[in-house]
Amino acid sequence: MLTLSILIPLLASLGLFGWSNVTKEKARLVALGASTLSFLCLIIVWIGFDTGSEAPAFQSVAEVGWIDALGVAWRVGVDGMSLAVSLMSGLLFLCSIAWPAETKGRARQYYGWFLFLQGVSLGLFLSLDLLVFYVFFDLTLVGMYFLIGRWGHDQAEYAALKFFVYTLAGSLAILLAILGLVLANGTLTFDIRELIAVQPLGGTDLRSSLILFGFLVGFAIKTPLVPFHTWLPLAHVEAPGPASAVLAGVLLKMGTYGMVRIPFQMMRETFAAYAFPLAIVALVAILWGSLVALAQTNLKRRIAYTSVNHMGYTVLGIAAAGAMIGSESVRTLALSGAVTEMVAHGLITGALFLIAGSFYTRAGTYDLSRFGGLARLTPLLMVAYFLAAFASFGLPGLAGFVAEFQIFAGSFGVYPIVAAIGLLGLVITAALFLMMGQTIFFGETKPEIAAIKDLKPAEIWPLAVLLVLVVLIGIAPGWLLDLIQTGSAFAPFKTGGGPQ
Amino acid sequence: MMPIEDVLPEITVLVTAVAIVLLASFLPRRLQWVNAPVALAGLATATLLLLPQVNGEARATFSDTYALDMASIGGRLLILFATAVTVLLSPRWFATDQRHGEFYAMLLFSALGAMVLAGALDLLFVLIGVLLSSATGYVLAAYHRDWALSLEAGMKYFLVGALANTALALGATFLIGMLGGPGFGEMAAALSAGRASPLLLVGLGLVTIGMAYKLGAAPAHAWLPDVAEGAPAPSAAFLTVVPKIGAAIALARLVSLFPETDFAIRSLIAALAVITMTLGNLAALWQDDMRRMLGWSSVSQAGYLLMAVTVTSLTDHAIPALVTFLFGYAAANLTAFAAITHLRGRTDRGNYGGLLKTAPLPAIALIVAFLSLVGIPPLGGFVGKLELFLATIDGGYVWLAIAALVNTVVSLAYYLRFVTPMVLGPPSENVFQLGSWSRVATTVALVATIAIGLFGQLILGPVTGSVFLPT
């Protein structure tokens, strides 16, 4: 079933690439259908998912041989973390595909690349084989390169190139680290389950440290953490709205997901030794991201930098969870917060970038100074914006709060000072979102944008789906937290004894 | 009684080549293309004769001068495949050349030289292989007799080659003199007993230069960009791929003779690897000519190839890395040159605008080939690079792997410089294509590039754990 949810979009995208002279409507229908089917497969897995305390580490596991000589196989399976993130990704892809996009006369290719990206993204989250994980990790770069390059705005070529080169550097660092980790294990296998069980490397000797460093740098570029974030604002500004939504909502999660799945789970002792520096880097990302966001006059750049800030929270949670100090329950809380943040940020920022896309299709610019007084003209857009913005800076009752509360509550138990300083980030993001909302919606209506229309139905329902979920998670987070905390990532671990 | 059946594939190639020489002199001008199917038939027969060796045990034949191990078999199969693709590219390209029938004979002789290199277990045999492959290579590069660029390419190839081959012959003399014989077996025995001497090291260095020439690696790489740019496009496809296959295997075999300690050969090769890949990549960054860029990229790929040579016999992954990387590289490079041939040698970057729209097949072939050369999964180049990194790290040369990583990132930039106009640029004037021969060749190479990635197990399986003669 998991394999199906990966293959359906991939095959459909191949079909779209090969199917010449198809109309835009048909291409969109095919894309919507494939995306929905893939999402349904995930729902079916979710329905059958056991969240009891006796649940196995990974569920719905399937395995087919591939390159036996290297111990590589097609292995898929989910634990709570990967299922939650994949569900979010599947939904976000569905909404982004449904979004009425400007396809520049190449609808077939546009939807084809979107489906391709959906397939490989889900493949990454669902894979239980490190090499297959890496394959999908690299393929997301190819998909995104073409989406940004072909359907982006003015500087799209440069942005796409920078994105590709930067993140390829990161992914190669990850490849070397993966190989180092696999070679440290006695038998040659890329099976994630086995590597978690064996814990091939421990301690802080040069080799373990280098390998951990490779993973962290690679994932930090993808996440992105300061100082590896410079590709992000450019890529976001130039990418079309739905591609931005997917880039922020899904692709950034690959960095934090990988961080939990690989270094955090496979090298617990080494990770614990370096958890504090990682927390400091996360703190820098939180503050830097929010401060720089505050200074931006471009709508999309501003949202992009808040992503740096939010991914900083996530990494802070992961670092706190990986440090072997503080009580077990506090660390579980921090990790749970980090994973919840992945889901919440995906939904919220996905919605925000779709909203930014709506602004662009209406006004043809992201420049904040060109907007003003839109409240009367576009009430629906305003409601959507403020709901997403409130959720983003963590207003109670919305999804962001659930995530950020857990992260900070957890990290206070581990790194109280770091967490206290990090709280500043929340204040700054609150300020910047409110100020941005004021600029856009209140005050004088500028004459050149006076003709702007409110949201169309095709824009309303993807936003509504995302935002309803944001509210739902905010009000009743229990079902999500139960799901997330099931399985491998949250399995208790004791020093020296391996996972129990 | 000589074990003739062990070299039947080589004999087939030789006989076919001789037959083509005869045929070409009797066939009228409009029927010169008939030599192409004849060459293809010969190559197919050789492949069929070679395949049974895959199942046999690794052994040496002809008084221990010729190896039938997996490296040799894999290499020779690849040489036959690459030659066949080149043959497919040629008939239309040379349609206006009234004497082009002999081109196929030259191709086959050159392929034979590379095959000898892949199997040689004797230094003199290596020398013969290099000379056969070089002498024919000059002709292939300069085959457009009336075109200055082609002649320049042939001339450069010849001049660098003359120097490098002299170095090789001289080095071989030193080695044979110091070690008491040309056979790899006796050399290995003498090396494990004796110690390093200056003369021995000089000889080894000279031999390495000779092999670097065939590989297109520093310090004898200067001919490659010119050949890629000026030689007839099918020759360029052949010369950037086939000699490398034989030379890489021969050099790896030679390195494996030397004990890990006492001899600085591995550090030397590692240094050459880094220099070669960096030089090739940096030079490729500034090219606005597609074929010249591919020539420099081919230099940098030789650098990656030397990584596998460096760790030969230090890790079990060295031979699989060498062979799979060769497969991935050969398929991708052939795809690129096949597409260029199909586009009638179109080479200026400015002329590639909007190609994805005007000529989808060659455009897709070029994009896939580039991505494979970078090592993007799941293409052939990825499996090769993966094995290469694995071998280098396992062999203890982590810094080499990191250098290759940095180089790979750089290489992405210049490949994308050519991809971007193809995908995003406005379509240029009419695109002329070469017809069905080269279309088939492009498709075959493209499918091979993808299949090597998806079915990597088929190559890796037999090669993994295989013996490297002489052991």
CA distance B54 to chain A (A): 17
Q: Tell whether B131 is within 8 A of chain A (Cβ).
A: no
Sequence ranges of the domains in chain A: 2-495
Higher-confidence residue of B57 and B289: namely B289
> What distance in Å separates the CA atoms of residue A204 and residue B281, rounded to the nearest whole number?
35
Test B394 with A183 for CB contact under 8 angstroms: yes
Task: Record the tokens describing residue A231, joined without a space.
Answer: 């590709």
Of A267-276, B345-354, B413-422, the one with minimum mean pLDDT is B345-354
Residues of B in contact with A68 (CB under 8 A): 457, 461
pLDDT(A498) > 50: no
Q: Is residue A197 scored above 90 in pLDDT?
A: no
> What is the structure's pLDDT at A493?
67
- The DSSP element (H or E) to which B66 belongs, if any, is strand B66-68
Contact B293, B270 (CB under 8 A): no
Q: Across chain A, what does the average pLDDT equal?
A: 88
- Beta-carbon separation of A135 and B382 below 8 A: yes
Q: What pLDDT, on a 0 to 100 scale, did the predictor assign at position B471?
A: 66
E strands, A17-129, where?
59-67, 72-78
What is residue A38's predicted lDDT score, i.e. its pLDDT?
A: 93
DSSP element (H, E) containing B457: helix B456-463
Nearest CB neighbour to B412, from listed A131, A165, A182: A165
Helices (H), B147-230: 148-179, 184-193, 198-215, 223-230
Q: Pick the more confident residue, B112 or B201.
A: B112
Tell me the C-alpha distance between B132 and B128, whole Å.
6
- Spatial distance between the Cα atoms of B471 and B457, rounded to a whole number of angstroms: 25
CB atoms B464 and A69 under 8 Å: yes
Q: Nearest by CB to A139, which of B377, B398, B402?
A: B377
pLDDT of residue B108: 96
DSSP A4-24: HHHHHHHHHHHHHHH--S--H
Tokens of A492: 């208790």
The answer, for A213 touching chain B at a CB cutoff of 8 Å, is no
| Cβ-based contacts of B398 with chain A (< 8 Å) | 180, 210
Tell me whether A217 touches chain B (CB under 8 Å). Answer: no
pTM: 0.90
Average the pLDDT over each of A5-9, A156-160, B391-395 and give the range with the smallest value: A156-160
Mean pLDDT of B12-37: 92
Contact B210, B171 (CB under 8 A): yes
Check if A173 contacts B (Cβ < 8 Å).
yes
Q: How many CB pairs under 8 A join A and B?
A: 82
pLDDT of residue B127: 95
B416, B455, B458, B459, best to mutate vs chain A, most A CBs in 10 Å: B416
Residue B405: how many CA atoms within 13 Å on its side-chain side? 26
A280 CA to centre of own chain: 21
Q: How many CA atoms lie within 13 A of A100 on its CB side?
A: 12
- Residue A7: CB atoms within 10 A of its CB come to 15
Interface test with B, best of A172, A189, A190 (most B CBs within 10 A): A172
* pLDDT (average), residues B249-260: 90
Q: How far apart are CA B422 and CA A150, in angstroms?
A: 11
The average pLDDT across B91-102 equals: 87
User: What angle is formed at CA A250 by the lines to CA A171 and CA A223, rounded to 5 degrees?
Assistant: 45
Tell me which of B350 and B384 has the higher pLDDT: B384
State whether residue B135 sits within 8 Å of chain A by CB. Answer: no
Q: Do A70 and B390 touch (CB under 8 A)?
A: yes
Rounded CA separation A84/A335 (Å): 14
**Residue of chain A whose alpha carbon sits nearest to that of B315:** A183
Q: What is the pLDDT of residue B16?
A: 96
**CB nearest to B401's CB, from A67, A139, A176:** A176
Give the mean model confidence (pLDDT) for residues B166-188.
92
> Given CB atoms, is A179 within the 8 Å cutoff of chain B?
yes
- Please give the share of chain A, as a percent, with pLDDT higher than 70: 98
Averaged pLDDT score across all residues of chain B: 91
Question: What residues does each domain of chain B span?
Answer: 4-463
Closest residue on chain B to A176 (Cα): B389
Percentage of residues in chain A with pLDDT exceeding 90?
A: 38
Q: Does residue A496 surpass a pLDDT of 70?
A: no
User: B 304-333 residues with CB below 8 A of A?
Assistant: 320
User: B428-447 b/e with 16+ CB inside 10 Å = b?
Assistant: beebebbeebbbebbbbbbe
Q: Helix crossing, B242-256 with B198-215: angle to 10°?
A: 160
> Could you tell me if B460 lies within 8 Å of chain A, comparing CB atoms?
yes
pLDDT digits (tens, 9 = 90+) for A249-286: 899 999 999 999 999 999 888 999 999 999 999 999 99
- Cα B28 to Cα A202, B21, B37, B335, B437, distances in angstroms: 74, 13, 16, 32, 20
Instruction: Render pLDDT for A280-328 as a digit per residue (tens, 0 to 9).
Output: 999 999 999 999 998 888 888 888 899 899 999 999 999 999 887 778 8
Angstrom distances, CA of residue B372 to CA of A367, B224, B328, B448: 40, 20, 8, 11
Q: Do A157 and B420 touch (CB under 8 A)?
A: yes
Show the CA angle centred on residue A172, arms to residues A167 and A177, nearest 5°.
Answer: 125
Chain B residues whose beta carbon lies within 8 Å of the beta carbon of residue A157: 420, 424
Q: What is the DSSP letter of A129?
A: B
Query: Residue A377 and residue A381: Cα distance in Å, rounded?
Result: 9
* Mean pLDDT across A52-78: 87
Quote the CA–CA distance of A320 and A412 in Å, as a whole number.
9
Q: Nearest by CB to B461, which of A69, A173, A175?
A: A69
Ramachandran area for residue B156 (φ above 0: left; ψ -120 to 50: alpha; else beta): alpha
pLDDT at A13 > cutoff 80:
yes
Residue B290: pLDDT above 60?
yes
The answer on pLDDT for A499 being more than 50 is no
Quick one: pLDDT band at residue A231, thresholds 50, 70, 90?
A: confident
A190 in contact with B at a CB cutoff of 8 Å? no
Q: Is B194 left (phi over 0), alpha (psi -120 to 50) or beta?
A: beta
